[in-house]
Structure 1
Amino acid sequence: MKGQIKSIDAIKNMAVFKDFSWSKSVRDKGNNVAEFKTVNIIYGRNYSGKTTLSRIVRALETGTLSSNYNQPEFKVSFRDLASATSTSLTAHGECIRVFNEDFVRENLRFIGNESESINSFAILGEDNARIENEILELMNKLGSPEDTASLLGKYRDAEIKYNAAIAKLNLKSEALETKLKDKANKAGTGIKHNKLFGDANYNVNKLKADISAVSSKGYSALSQEQSDEYHALLREDAKEEIPPLASFELKLSGLAEKVKELVERKITIANPLQELLGDAALESWVRSGRELHRGRRESCGFCGNQLPADLWEKLDQHFNLQSENLRVEIEATIKLLNKESDRIPGLLKIKRSDFYANFTKSLDELESEFNQEAKNYQTALDSLTSQLSTRLTEIHSPLVYSQPARSGSDLNSLHDEYEALREQSNDFATKLVTEQKQARHLLRLNEVYTFYVDIKYSEEAEAIDTLESNKSAAAEVKEAAQIAVKKTELEIKDLKSQLKDESKGADKVNEYLNSFFGHNSLKLEAFENSGLATSGGYRFEVTRSGKKAFHLSEGECSLIAFCYFLAKLSDYETKGTQPIIWIDDPICSLDSNHIFFTYSLIHSEIIEPEKYDDGGEIKERSRFKQIFVSTHNLDFLKYLKRLPGAGNKKESQYFTINRAGDFSEIKVMPDYLKNFVTEFNYLFSQIHTCASIDIIDDQNYTAYYNFGNNARKFFEIYLYYKYPNKGMTDETMEAFFGENIPAILTDRINNEYSHLAGVFERGATPTEVPEMKRAATHIIERLRLNDPDQYSSLLDSIGVAE
């Protein structure tokens, strides 16, 4: 059943539980780990650790643990609930009620100080039909989680839908979050590990900020060309400063003026040779021949005829100083024009490695424009050269000058453009780090944008927003249902408070005292508190024959305490909650008659189902969710076996607490103790175990530690029934053994080892195992010889074949 205690998994540093492990210790005959069930019976000798277990469970009730333990640790597992530990005592949320000496000390202070009183508690008072009907109506309205039409059913349904909405939202959100984490942080592919982006601290939060940036309307993804430029920029290192480009010092304008003057210059000829004036080719031929013949030949080198005497005078008059000077100037100017033309292509030699990559495009454009303008400039020079060449052939005839189409200004503009790019590149060196940082940023955003598109982030985000809205709507429905439940519960609580009556708590205790134990003179009385030091309410006091009782016996204190506990199970906070109940050794100092009545009280007031009115229909329900009863008394154990459900293996479980020295452990109760619950059977089994052991291990060592007490108590019972007029004496012991030596040996064990016999060292040294085994074997052997019928029956009772 959900909410039941399944096991006490571990206990450390709590009295005799030093380092207890449930899974190692509590195993059945098939070596399976046993668990607590609905009805749990625990047997253990005094000082074995029963109260320690009850204190652990009471800590789960009160939320506090005794400060007297030094670094205590424990873990208690519940069925279908979170475990409780020494640091989380009440997280389980179950109603728990524990009866032990701490409960008695806290609630019945008069036991330690007779001047003190007893804490009062309220139970339901006199019937009030109207209020009870209102409570019933509200309870029916509240209903149960299984009733879908009730408030609790609606709340459960709303809670299921809310949890489903959360699950869907979490599933979708976690899937997207995983993608984001991988993109941001995954080794090898995450942005964090990509050196290109240069952010070793990149994380999901930064990725989300980038996604917000790339999803805005103003963002545009990078083109491939832009991406390539930024990648190239990131490969750049700081460059040396580029020196200025020398001025082009173009000479076209000056040369053009010179050419104009030369082609338009007029010359005067005294006696020109008309044949030559009309034939430029002939004139050129004659001028060449003149240079070849003058001063060298007397006859023509072409025809061989004698040269005329006046030939040189005629030619000098035709080729005079003006024309010759003009010719010389023209030829010199042509050389200047050719030199200028040859110089132009080398004016702009762009070394791209000196510039940063982001200037490449501009440099390419500049170079293309320069090449074109250089050709245009050379064309202009060629036109001037052509005009001069024409004038050379017609040296005596001025020409009409033709102005070139280009002046060279465009080349100078390109020089200025180059200088501007050079300066920009030099300036760029000073801000390279900033520009590269910006390039990394833009490339990272581009990477995020690609990721954003690939995973359809906007669609995912919209789906999550829709699921978030569904969750919020489900939360509102759940909250409204919860408010309705709490409002109804408060109304029920308020109505119940009108019914509760503290004065009736004492009457319930007295009912138990009188009906079950026959104590008519001893009772609890409720007295209303008064005075400034009190805050109203009642206090309980024990009276005998109408007067406050003093000097109560231990048995009377035990009776009152247990009746008080049972009555308190009917208090306002507990009744109807089906609590987990733990009762620790309730029959301390009680005689056999009271032991039976204690069992009867547990039977009728806890185990038996209670009747209740459900809308006019009388129904039954369990008074508890789970019960634990511990005892040191074998007679009481015998009665507990009779409890309803105690014989049902599915509903009940039996345990023993075994102590050896300063250590205790919980074990599944052996069959002989479970099936034959007289102390005589148990004591015989322990002596037989001690006699049968060949090797001591963790499963049997307690038989040796307890052998002294077990042997002594066994003889007390056995010899009393065999010799009722004498009991256990040296004489009857000798009669049992028939020899003096074994009897003396056994007497030593019974006295020294069961009481330490005033020898402190006995409690601090290991038990002498061989001595124990010899004594146990001798007892078994004498019993077999002296009383074979009883010996056979005892063997049968503990499940051992003869």
Structure 2
Amino acid sequence: MTIQRIQKLQGYRIFRDFRWDGLPDFGRYNLIYGWNGAGKTSISTLFRSLQQKTPPDSGVVEFVIDGNVVTGADFTSGKLPAVRVFNRDFVDRSVFEMPGQALPPVFYLGEDSAEKQKRISELQAKRDELSAQLLTLEKDTKAATDELNAFCTSQARSIRNLLLGDPRYNNYEAPRFKELMQKLKSVDEKPAQLETSERKRLEEALAGKPMPALPVPSFASIRLGELTSAIGTELGKTVVASTIQELVDAPEVASWVERGMRLHEHGEAHCHFCKQELDPARVAALEAHFNDHFKAQQQRLGALLSSVESLREKARTREIPERSALYPHLRDEFDEAVGNLKAQSLLIEMFLNRLKDAILAKTSDPFSRLEIKDYVSVVDFESDSALVKLVEIAINGLNAMGIALGMAGADAIVRLVELHNEYTENFQNSASAARAQLEIDDGLKVFPEWSDRDKMASDLAISHGNVQRSIEPIGIDIVRLQREIRQHLKPAEELNREMVAYLGRDELRFEPKDSGYTVMRGNNPAMHLSDGERTAIAFIYFLKTLRDADFDIKNGVVVIDDPVSSLDANSLYCAFGYMKDRTRDAKQIFVLTHNFGFFRQVKNWFNYAGGLRDRPYDPEKSKSAHFYMLAMRISDSQRSAYLRTLDPLLHEYESEYHYLFRCVKAGAELAAPTSLAEVYGLPNIARRLLESFLAFRVPGRAGNLAQQLEALEGDPAAKARIIRFLHTNSHMEQISEPEHDLSVLSEAPAVLTDLLALLRANDKQHFTVRLLPRPLEHLQADGAAFFESVS
């Protein structure tokens, strides 16, 4: 495939609006001349995009390849020729020095190897960074874990000391505490912490030993509410019988007779009182009066009376245990219950006396309906709580509420004694339950702090693991890349031979080291390579890649952009010869340069290869060799590059100095310029001519144009105008202020005349020789294009 032309460049870097108008198509041999900043790098980068099959970084780009238009967007998918490009970017990519390594440095050659070594360096830096992170995380993780373990050990010791006495807690250590924390962590809804009083009760329960059981107080059987209710029911009952009116009217007599009847139940025939014989009829009448219903009621009333008497006795004796006999956690409630019982004991006894009076009254008058309220206040003792509810304010000053409080105190004492006995019976079980509750409560108190510490240690451990896992594949990648570099490593002896062939001397040598080379300058390692040395090494390596198996040079395109830098004349000649030998078989070759010496060598080669020999270059007739130059024009106050055919003067003369001198003389003789484009390049041309002249006239002050100029003979005012004009207007990137533009327009011819006069004053013979016989009209006919080419 053949690249025929660059058809269009719009908005591509410095090529703002270039079209291939009137230019000869590219041939096999193509030489492009242009000074720095003229667009050479932009052109070579465009060819590199073809090589890499990537779209250009900006603008609209169109090539014509084998008669087909190929746009920049087509670079990724279109059928493209095989291209190899050498430019500054290739140098930077192909000669890589491992940064931050011990001296002497190790260099890696070749774009692929250099890119891989750069990647290795990046991976090694990343691995070092991650290793440093890993070390920090290891320390932080260990510290956090140690602090967590110390915290768990401390809390386990605290729980062990609290719960001593149970073998299960005598060896309570950090693992047991961690288990407790994990259990709490797994529960979504955690139990509440114990109230202070409850915790105190449990702690006191653990502090003592099992105490003896206590007898339940006898008033435990008192059911005052039930007894009062039973008495009230009995008072409301009447006995149905054949009554004797005189006994009904005299209850005391009836009672006396009823007792006498019981004395004669065993068949006695005579009265024990009067010794008279008993009248059977009278006995029968009395038995009808005192029938079975009567007897049953009397028995019930007797039983109720016995109950009341028993309660009175129990209330008086108050069989209350000693306070110290109870467990400590029951004593406060016990004291309160005893206090209530003692405070209301008198009211209870008075209440029982009233109940006794009611029973006796009913016993004496069994045939009448009596009311309990006539003797005591009506109180409901049948509530679920077993506590008294006041139904009616106490009768005869009896305080029913006091009675209730007293009885509640008695019930509480009984309940506490029963709890005491139950605790004694189940002491071990209760202690175990208390210990379990206290263990959980202690865990709940410190759970938030443990959770924070555990999360910190866990997060650090996870981060440590992540970093450690990320390091492993990096090491694998480094080993793989190093192996691939070694597979493509060129033998050092071969590189040394080619370096001698390229430079014409053996000043630089390669010695293999690791996956790269140490560069020796003489017998010592080259600590720092100059820009020219790097370019030379990269160019040698580039030329070697043209023989790689993946590139067929006979069907390929070779693009070379300024391969020589800081080379002396002999090295330049050797470098050119080496390049020529390695690229002679290319289907197409493009050489771009700003170095006139190298330009001359390539021009002569292409003249010969293209069949021109010593004939002038005619773009229309030449088929295989074409010569171009990069020039500038002003567009919208900005520099815009374009490609044109090489100026005939540059093709004709063997020295760039001839060309510069001729351009300055033409500029000095210009009539009043009408546009900035006519004179825009003249300051740069004038500066380059003066620098070349001073290089051999005043060689000792190179680099300081003003001092060199002062060393010349001539009008001081003219020299001042020249230096101001050059410093102000050369190397301009764009047009700035309007008055500056007018200054260039107006001053250029006069200042260039002063410059020529200065050259003549200091070397008249030299000046005379440089006056070419070619008419100036030819230069003026070509117009501003001469000057634009060196802007």
* Both structures adopt the same fold (TM-score exceeding 0.5): no
Q: Could you say which TM-score interval applies, normalised by the shorter chain?
A: 0.3 to 0.5
Q: Which of these two proteins has the greater Rg computed from alpha carbons?
A: 2
Superposition TM-score, scaled by structure 1 size? 0.42
